[in-house]
Amino acid sequence: MFCDLTVRITPEIRKKAEENDRFALAGHLGTHFDSKKKEFPLDYLRLPAVIFNVSSIRDREITREDIEFGLVESGTFVCFFTGYEREFGYGNADYFRDHVVLSNDLLDALVDKGVCIIGIDAPGVRPGYEHAKRDQYCADRGTFIVENMSGIEQLMQDQASVKCVMNTYPIRFSESDALLCRVVAESIL
């Protein structure tokens, strides 16, 4: 079984995104990761993954205590289903405002654990000025953050977590701050 978790970009959605997010014009359109001019390792193309359902959390940061951290392993893709993209729709103004974020402690724990990719169905893992700073911090330590994922609810079926294999295929741009990518889940474990 394959499940495409990439935001579908139509001309209408692209126009909305470019009107509501100034970064969309600079390559941060749709599902992408902020590469921070780092090379994406080919070893990261196909990774074991765990997806955590944190969709009930609103009005506060997602913390390590909100997930079963024991399921997190080194060399994996850890994904967060916040429900944000499903609720607001990528490209809309509300999607880019006050989105759910991960706590700095949770990000540090994921990086320290050796997670290769962190995925989220929201515009980023941190708000405002912290967004780029934390993306750089993670990238400098070999962890990439995939933003604006879509359709994760198809895999969750009201479960707290799901294990699968995640495939991530970035466009091969050099010296770029953002790389568009396609993310496809397979083989629910």
DSSP string, 104-159: HHHHHHHHHHT-SEEEESSS-SS-HHHHHHHHHHHHHTT-EEEE-B--THHHHTT-
pLDDT in tens for each of the 189 residues of the chain? Answer: 899 998 887 777 667 666 655 554 445 677 888 766 778 899 999 999 999 999 999 999 999 999 999 999 999 999 999 999 999 988 788 888 888 899 999 999 999 999 999 999 999 999 888 988 999 999 999 999 999 999 999 999 889 999 999 999 988 776 667 778 899 999 776
List the structure tokens of 98: 């006050």
Residue 31, pLDDT score: 82
> Identity (one letter) of the amino acid at 161?
S
Residue 189, pLDDT score: 63
CA distance 120 to 148: 6
Residue 23, pLDDT score: 55
Distances from the Cα of 3 to the Cαs of 86, 119, 167, 174, 180, in angstroms?
15, 15, 10, 28, 18
Residue 27, pLDDT score: 58
Per-domain residue ranges of the chain = 2-186
CA distance 33 to 177: 8
Helix (H) or strand (E) holding 84: helix 84-88
For domain 2-186, give its CATH number from 3.30.70.100, 3.30.2010.10, 3.50.30.50, 3.40.50.2300.
Answer: 3.50.30.50
Residue 176, pLDDT score: 66
Residue 172, pLDDT score: 74
List the structure tokens of 23: 């970064």
